[in-house]
Chains A and B, each alone.
Chain A
Amino acid sequence: MAKAQAKAKRVAASNEKLLEVDGAAWSGSSAIGIDLVPAPVTMAANVSGQMALSQNHGKVRRAEARLAHNGETLSVRLSWRDSDKDDQIADLDRFADGAAVMFPLLDDANPLTMGDERKPVNAWLWKADREEPFDVIARGYATSQRRPASSSQLASNALHRDGQWHVVFQRPLELEGGEFARFAPGGLARIAFAIWEGSNAERAGQKAISGAFLAVELEA
């Protein structure tokens, strides 16, 4: 088993308390610094020649992640600095802020391509203008499918305060059937991060990504 690079603390808090972005349930968890880089869109030239021309995406370079579980659900809290709150698409040339966390369904899936045909990845996608997050399954570029949050009992909550976004994702550790990442106390979760800066016209592959999967141990 790979070595854990970070820990998801086991807490006694309820699911509801963990969904509170600035709730006390998060006070004991330590922050993991996440460095982000512009996603390499030239790799996707065969699925979008236009997107591959993008040069100035990936504006957010630093984020902070906290992970916690209560034996029932895994919660991921992501924070980053963003002075432009883009929570609606007010015109045809505007885009909403977004964030996602991604898990491999097989350990060695490629995070840069969002997996491939044989090694899919599962992601949780939050968009600032949407009521609910999406549960995403992908098998490489151009294959991602958004599934409704209800398909995996995925929940999210977000708050923009003092020039920062804080987003919490929450999902049951175990799920019956379907193509979903699974987690267990004492086990290892592999997780990657992506952030879209709406005011910079970031969408699809035009985003900032953390690159390699981070190995996080779920406290037993």
Chain B
Amino acid sequence: MSAVPSKQELKSSKRQLATVIDLSKCMGCQTCTVACKNLWTQREGTEHMRWANVSTCPGKGYPKDWEQKGGGFDGEGRPQPGRLTNLVDCGDNFQFNHGEVLGAGNAQGKKLEPRSARGEVPTWGYNWDEDQGKGDWPNPYFFYMPRKCNHCSNAPCIDACSRNAIVKRDDGIVVIEQDRCEGHRHCVEACPYSMIYFNPKSQKSEKCIDCFPRVEKGVAPACNRQCVGRTRAYGYLDDPESQVHKLVKQWKVALPLHPEFGTEPNVYYVPPMSPLAYDTEGRLTGAGRLPIEVLEGYFGPAVRGALDTIIAERNRRKRGEPSELMDLLISRRWLDRFAEFTAEPI
């Protein structure tokens, strides 16, 4: 390797680890968020970071308005300009006047009041628009969107780093080498998913490391393993025995989020099935509440085929016939979801 490695060298890997998340099952409980927060972002300077997070779709998301921030690549593979996020966009770090209310005998007279990172009355925060969604009575709709770094195969952060501090490991996990990072934040601008965060204390950028110290010991990442809803699968995409392979490659029911960003992300989503819509008399109709166009906006045109497959397999099961896909999505033994990454964390 020459003194300055090429971006292609930095972006290549022998294999690719991937996560699949079933959005029909995610209930927005934030256990993944908390599992990650407890492990990785309790250090000073990381208060605003949620490497794993869940927001409501449609909605402004986390960080706020991330889908409009730019970055990624255009159809010709050219990098697109992106903007930086700020502390408030990133969910802020509210402080409460606990001392004033609880410590000074004011419990009857004063109430708890949050203050934003800027010392102001907050007008935005993590999950500020939770469960709002869209749609009119009697058919409002929303679904939850759990996210983390996509460990992209065509990672724009690697292209963007003038320090060559970002590399893809042989297992496909993308990491920011902290001793090379100088906090210039071109990666933050370039990531169209806004999953890189600047640490103002260390003055370096950080992001999800896919729990690689766990993965190296055969333990699935905390967000995946701690999910109480059995929504998540983890493993190598090229392992034909892994659920991720079966759901992404074989059944083609798990799709990347915003494939048009051109980064080839490696978190895949089983699109949410729609509850049935009501008519104005309160009677169930045959139509779904979630407009297919909305889902296409997130997952591209392939979402139609994926949902058709899921519905067809569900109908098979309803008729009492076997369905491998339904068995996969149910996962009666939860450890089946994690391929070879089933070791206990402790």
Contact = CB atoms under 8 A, between A and B. Distances in A.
A49 B160 contact: yes
Interface string B24-41: 000000000000000000
Given A50-B190, A91-B86, A204 B182 contact: yes
A152 B83 CA distance: 37
Given A92-B85, A203-B184, A50 B4 contact: no
Main secondary structure of the interface of B (DSSP, over half): loop
Given A143-B3, A204-B182, A89 B200 contact: yes
A44 B182 CA distance: 17
Contacts of A143: 3-4
B163 to A, nearest CB: 6
A44 B163 CA distance: 11
Given A48-B162, A49-B160, A141-B4, A204 B87 contact: no
A212 interface: no
A29 B90 CA distance: 49
Band of interface residues on A = 20 to 34
B81 interface: yes
Interface in A111-167: 117, 139-143, 146
Interface in B48-77: 48, 71
B126 interface: no
Contacts of B48: 92
Contacts of A50: 71, 79, 81-82, 156, 159-160, 186-187, 189-190
A115 B222 CA distance: 45
Contacts of B7: 46
B84 interface: yes
Band of interface residues on B = 35 or more
Contact of B162 (A51, A91, A93): A51
A139 B83 CA distance: 29
B3 A93 contact: no
Question: Which residue, of A46, A53, A140, has the highest number of chain B Cβ atoms within 10 A?
Answer: A53
Given A47-B4, A92-B200, A204 B162 contact: yes
B200 A142 contact: no
A48 B203 contact: no
B182 A146 contact: yes
A94 B24 CA distance: 39
Nearest to B90: A92
A205 B186 CA distance: 11
Contacts of B185: 92, 203
A132 to B, nearest CB: 14
7 tightest CB-CB pairs across the interface, nearest first?
A49-B79, A50-B160, A48-B162, A93-B84, A50-B186, A204-B184, A50-B190
Interface of A: 44, 46-53, 89, 91-93, 117, 139-143, 146, 201, 203-205
